[in-house]
């Protein structure tokens, strides 16, 4: 799992590559929580263009970060979602709490 980020104003853009599963979810969860606090980010955008696999632990990572930023009035969005990951988001109901956009500008415009 590769994990990169950029911070803009009160927004944190996180690019995930590889597999977001039970092997890495706790580490990613802790790193994201630390970054959100350190960067004082209210909004979170996940770039999933490089994500190949996600299990229920990965769903938990997304849901948990949503709970954290929504307490501050923030939003969570995903961009560049593959068909495979899109199906996981749809079946899990994540799209009820997370916005899906084609690119970063669209996501920013809705925050």
Summarize the confidence of residues 92-108 as an average pLDDT.
96
Number of domains in the chain: 1
Output the six-digit token pair for 10: 């009160």
pLDDT of residue 1: 81
Q: What is the CATH number of the domain that holds 54?
A: 3.30.750.24
Q: Are 37 and 69 in contact (CB under 8 A)?
A: no
pLDDT of residue 2: 87
pLDDT of residue 104: 95
Enclosing domain of residue 96:
2-109
Residue-wise pLDDT tens digits, 38-97:
999 999 999 999 999 999 999 999 999 999 999 999 999 999 999 999 999 999 999 999
């Amino acid at each position: 799992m590769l994990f990169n980020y950029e911070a803009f104003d009160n927004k944190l853009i996180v690019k995930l590559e590889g597999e977001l599963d039970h092997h890495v979810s706790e580490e990613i969860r802790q790193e994201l929580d630390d970054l959100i606090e350190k960067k004082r980010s209210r909004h979170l955008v996940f770039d999933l263009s490089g994500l190949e696999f996600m299990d229920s632990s990965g769903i938990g990572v997304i849901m948990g970060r949503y709970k954290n930023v929504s307490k501050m009035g923030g939003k969570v969005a995903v961009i560049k979602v593959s068909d495979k990951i899109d199906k996981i988001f749809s079946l899990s109901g994540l799209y009820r709490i997370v916005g899906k956009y084609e690119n970063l500008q669209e996501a920013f415009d809705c925050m």
